Structure 1
Amino acid sequence: MNMQEAADRADAMLDATLGAIVPEVQWDHRTSTARGCDLTRRRAVTTIISEERRGSFLGLVERHWKKSGFRITSANPSQEMPALFATSPDGFQLALKIGYKGQAFFDVITPCVEPSDVADPVSKPNGPAHPPGRIPTPHVRSDFWSATTPAPSASG
């Protein structure tokens, strides 16, 4: 596998993860980086995910990753800045981190692969595209994810 093929696989993992989030959240690409023999693809969520809904958000992503065959390697249960980390069977490392102002960030780091040129991601953000390094803090309201009440339980 070369870096472009690994980048395509990382992008597919990010597309699938964001596609599994219902109701959907608005997101944009962050800067990709390559070093040595691996690279990182990144995305930032611009939808406001309230503190009351962060646990539901992380739980939904955790269930999707497990269903996709990824192994959860660790989690940070912090109320303010929780995080979730996983590894795919083929060695890709996935992370979901909640940062400043509750912004959700997704990263996928590839395993060491054959060096090659790497094109920008082909998937289009489902909201405005921002210049690299200029993605705003969460500002898109969602009736579900931005609500300041706990998410209703699945059982009722």
Structure 2
Amino acid sequence: MKKTIKISLILFFSLFYKNIVTAQSISNEVLMAIKNENFQDLDKLITDDDLNKCYEVRGSSYNFLAISIKMKSLESLKYFVKRKANLEGECTGKTPLMYATKYGQLNAVKYLIENGASLETTNRGRTALDYAKKYEQQEIENYLNKYKK
């Protein structure tokens, strides 16, 4: 039992460390373009190869979908989805759907699900529905329950 816990902890911290260490810095110019929904600038600043990478923002690692959600920019989220960003992409274990749920962004949750985000993906055993319960996002919980298998 103790050996299993030790191995699990080592695996967790190695994955966490890998994600933080491999995350690239993101420029203020890109952050402002996301926040201001300046898609002409984003077209120039972000290549298709950059879409699913992890970027360091305030000590943590996020992809562009998660950054859009954290900045409360539904239009930027839509922009990155249209550019084919990975809906299941994660940098620290949470998918964009989990972030949208955690932060109470029902419209982002709806958009992600309508575009194929999975309700079955887990982070430490938790699904987006579990995040809705944990963060007391009742409206999102009700919405996600409609899709529960």
TM-score normalised per structure 2: 0.24
Structure with the bigger RCO (C-alpha within 8 Å, sep 6+) is: 1
Between Structure 1 and Structure 2, the one with more strand by share is 1
